[in-house]
Amino acid sequence: MSNDRVLRVGLLGAGTVGAEVARLMVANQVDLAARAGVGLVITKIAVRDLTTPRPGIDPSILTTDSDSIVTDPEIDLVIEVMGGIEPARSLILKAMTHGKAVVTANKALLAKHGAELFHASDLADVDFYYEAAVAGAIPILRPLAESLVGDHVERVMGIINGTTNYILTKMHETGASFEGALLEAQALGYAEADPTADVDGFDAAAKAAILAGLAFHTQVTDEDVYREGIRAITADDVSVAKAMGFVIKLLAIAEANELHGSQEETISVRVHPTMIPVTHPLAAVREAFNAVFVKCESAGELMFYGRGAGGTPTASAILGDLVAVARNRNEGSLGPTETDYADLDIAPIGVSRTRYLIRMDVADVPGVLASVASTVAKNDVSIMTVRQEGRGGDAELVVLTHIATESSLANTVKDLRELEVVQKVVSVIRVEGLI
């Protein structure tokens, strides 16, 4: 199909993702134009360093002046793939006030300033799309915002950070330590030299905030998300989990809390290492893959699986957004805007309910089990299974609880630490996926 009409695109960033967006827009230009109903052409690209070799990109369209892109009257749409908070935030806002639609992959920015950006796109009457911001290539935001908008989401639970999933997979499958698996992830280019954003759960928390906002029609920021990373997970934790038929994953969980009496509905959003049975569908998600499990009142359980990162998979999601914007423009319409009408409160972590695995070093003497059991029961937590392994004068006790609140569990652990027979509470790991 030939098309004389053109939608002019400005690209902010030509790194891992931006370079692939540029390459695919040229490689697939005929198909993209046919699907969009208009030719799609990149007319300017902002980068920091003009001397970096960028194969396939015409150097004459590169600039270090990002402002000249977002204010250019000839540009219809801006794709922001530079990352970070500033100048990305100011540039997006300026692009919108200059009447340009915006597509971004920037989860860190959306999780901090999403409300401001949605408001600005409403005021400017421009499209704002961000499918690539969560789980890379996996279509999950549009399904939540559009396909499932007639349903009632009860829970979203997912593996939404590829780096930590790679590390935990290696620990599970090879017995590697956290440090050893991290080095391997860095050598393969999954983890950055400073792995903080991934291993300490910041990246997953930002994505969890975006998922929760869409699922529960509420503004959620990264500050609202309870977060624990995977640095404290040891090879021993993984080996105990494995022996019990579990695998440890860094899960993001957003859920509606159970209502008691006349309580107002609240949601919980958390990211933490979690044990799930090896038979759970999320347990089969290996290496750097992502998957998101959504439980709805009418649709039941759904799972979305695929590549959560990488230039080409992420560019796929961006190009999908680009075509969506082009189609909207052809029809003189706009895509769906943010809905935050429900405005639910986000409950503190103490209210969340799950099961827990508590590993303790204890004195191997008569009465240990009884004293541990009564301490647990005193805090309104009940025991599902207990496993004890003798090791000479002492033993390891592994207690799996029934569902309890985080605050009951915290009190239990505090009291266990004070017991004379408990030498050390080695670790506490949350457990999901048991019926």
User: Closer to ligand NAP at the Cβ: 106 or 219?
Assistant: 106
222 touches ligand HSE (CB under 6 A): no
Closer residue to ligand HSE, CB minimum distance, 100 or 112? 112
Provide the phi-psi class of 28: left if phi over 0, else alpha when psi is between -120 and 50, else beta.
Answer: alpha
Residues pairing with 400 in the sheet: 357, 385
Helices (H), ranges, 310-361: 311-331
Q: Are 322 and 379 in contact (CB under 8 A)?
A: no
Residue 18 touches which of ligand NAP, ligand HSE, none (CB < 5 to 8 A by kind)? ligand NAP
* Minimum distance from residue 118 beta carbon to ligand NAP (Å): 17
The upper half-sphere exposure of residue 434, i.e. CA atoms within 13 Å in the direction of its Cβ, equals 19
DSSP 32-92: HHHHHTSEEEEEEEE-S-TTS--TTS-GGGEES-HHHHHT-TT--EEEE-S-SSTTHHHHH
Query: Quick one: 257 or 314, whose CB is closer to ligand HSE?
Result: 314
Shortest distance in whole angstroms from residue 425 CB to ligand HSE: 30
Q: Catalytic residue among 44, 207, 242, 378, which?
A: 207
Retrieve residue 80's tokens.
């922001």
By a kind-dependent CB cut-off of 5 to 8 A, residue 310 interacts, out of ligand NAP, ligand HSE, none, with: ligand NAP
Residue with smaller CB distance to ligand NAP, 317 or 362? 317
Count of residues for the chain? 435
Told to check if 221 binds ligand NAP by CB under 6 A, we report no
Q: Which of residues 279-308 bind ligand HSE (CB under 6 A)?
A: 308
3 state SS of 421: coil
Q: Can you tell me which of 37, 87, 277, 350 binds ligand NAP, judged by CB under 6 A?
A: 87
Active site residue 207: yes
State which of positions 235-264 bind ligand HSE (CB under 6 A): none
Distance of CA 268 to CAs 37, 161, 212, 254, 282, Å?
Answer: 42, 19, 9, 6, 20
User: Which of ligand NAP, ligand HSE, none interacts with 81 (beta carbon under 5 to 8 A by kind)?
Assistant: ligand NAP
| 318 is a site residue for ligand HSE (CB under 6 A) | no
Q: Which is nearer to ligand HSE, 198 or 321 (CB)?
A: 198
The answer to whether the CB of 55 falls within 8 A of the CB of 22 is no
User: Per rule CB under 6 A, is residue 131 in the interface with ligand HSE?
Assistant: no
Q: Which of 106, 164, 165, 219 binds ligand NAP (CB under 6 A)?
A: 106
Binding of residue 309 to ligand NAP (CB under 6 A): yes
Mark residues 202-221: x for contact with ligand HSE by CB under 6 A, - for none.
Answer: -x------------------
Considering the complex, state which of residue 151 and residue 200 has its C-beta at the smaller distance from ligand NAP.
200
105 forms part of the interface with ligand NAP (CB under 6 A): yes
- Cβ atoms of 383 and 355 closer than 8 Å: no
Q: How far apart (Å, rounded) are the C-alpha atoms in residues 352 and 354?
A: 7
Q: Which lies closer to ligand HSE via its Cβ, residue 213 or residue 313? A: 313
CB of 52 to ligand NAP, least distance (A): 5
Place of tokens 């300490």: 200
Cβ 136 to ligand HSE, closest distance in Å? 6
- Residue among 17 and 269 whose Cβ is closer to ligand NAP: 17
Interface with ligand NAP includes 158 (CB under 6 A)?
no
Annotate 240-305 with DSSP letters as a single string: HHHHTTEEEEEEEEEEEPPP-TTPPPEEEEEEEEEEEETTSGGGG--TTEEEEEEEETTTEEEEEE
104 is an interface residue for ligand HSE by CB under 6 A: no
198 lines the binding site for ligand HSE (CB under 6 A)? yes
Q: From 57, 43, 41, 45, select the one nearest 3 (Cα to Cα).
A: 41
Pair of tokens at residue 147: 């396909």
268 with 352: CB under 8 angstroms?
A: yes
**16 contact, one of ligand HSE, ligand NAP, none, CB 5-8 Å limit per kind:** ligand NAP
Among 104, 106, 121, 161, binds ligand HSE (CB under 6 A): 161
Structure tokens at 349: 């972590």
For the CA atoms of 66, 67, 71, 76, the dihedral, rounded to the nearest 10 degrees, stands at 20
Residues at the contact surface with ligand NAP, assessed by CB under 6 A: 13-18, 46-49, 52, 66, 81-83, 87, 105-107, 132, 136, 309-310, 314
